[in-house]
Amino acid sequence: MRLFLLQHGDALAESFDPLRPLSIRGRSDVERMTEFATRAGVCVQRVCESGKLRAKQTAEIGAARPAPGVPIETMPGLNPNDPVEPWVEIVNGWTDDTLLVAVTCRFSVGSPHGCSRLAHRHSSHSSPAASRVSS
């Protein structure tokens, strides 16, 4: 199982739109990332996002080519102050290549490296031959 961690694209300021949808630049950045991932041969069978509008929009754009027709799952626990540790067990139970879109790749209190910690802990619990983690 490969895990692809993706932070949402640039969003509008809360003062402009409280729901904080993706900005034009954010959409463009995610589209470029999707093109890169497609050229690199990324294909996933599962797509999960945090439930925030900007994460949902990023997942929709980001999954268009590497996961056509795959339903996008909204998963609680992917927000900035959520701990990473529960995700290690969740992810280690998955068998499908997965795109995980978080509001920020800092979803752990006091740690600017939450997604890196998740990737490291996941890979340390998995056989190197059976799992490659990309961030």
Residue 4's contacts (CB-CB under 8 Å, 6 or more residues apart) are 37, 42, 44, 97, 98, 99, 100, 134, 135
What is the value of pTM for the model shown? 0.76
Q: Which CATH architecture has domain 2-134?
A: 3-Layer(aba) Sandwich (3.40)
**Mean pLDDT of the region 44-55:** 93
pLDDT above 60 (res 39): yes
pLDDT above 60 (res 56): yes
**CA 125 – CA 85 distance, rounded (Å):** 13
Domain parsing of the chain, residue ranges: 2-134
**Is pLDDT larger for residue 111 or for residue 100?**
100
pLDDT above 70 (res 128): no
**Is pLDDT larger for residue 106 or for residue 43?**
43
**CA 108 – CA 40 distance, rounded (Å):** 30
Closest CA to 4 of 47, 35, 36, 39: 47
| pLDDT (tens digit per residue) in 62-107 | 998 888 899 999 998 888 778 888 888 888 899 999 988 876 555 4
| pLDDT (tens digit per residue) in 15-38 | 999 999 999 999 999 999 999 999
What pLDDT score was predicted for residue 101?
87
pLDDT above 50 (res 119): yes
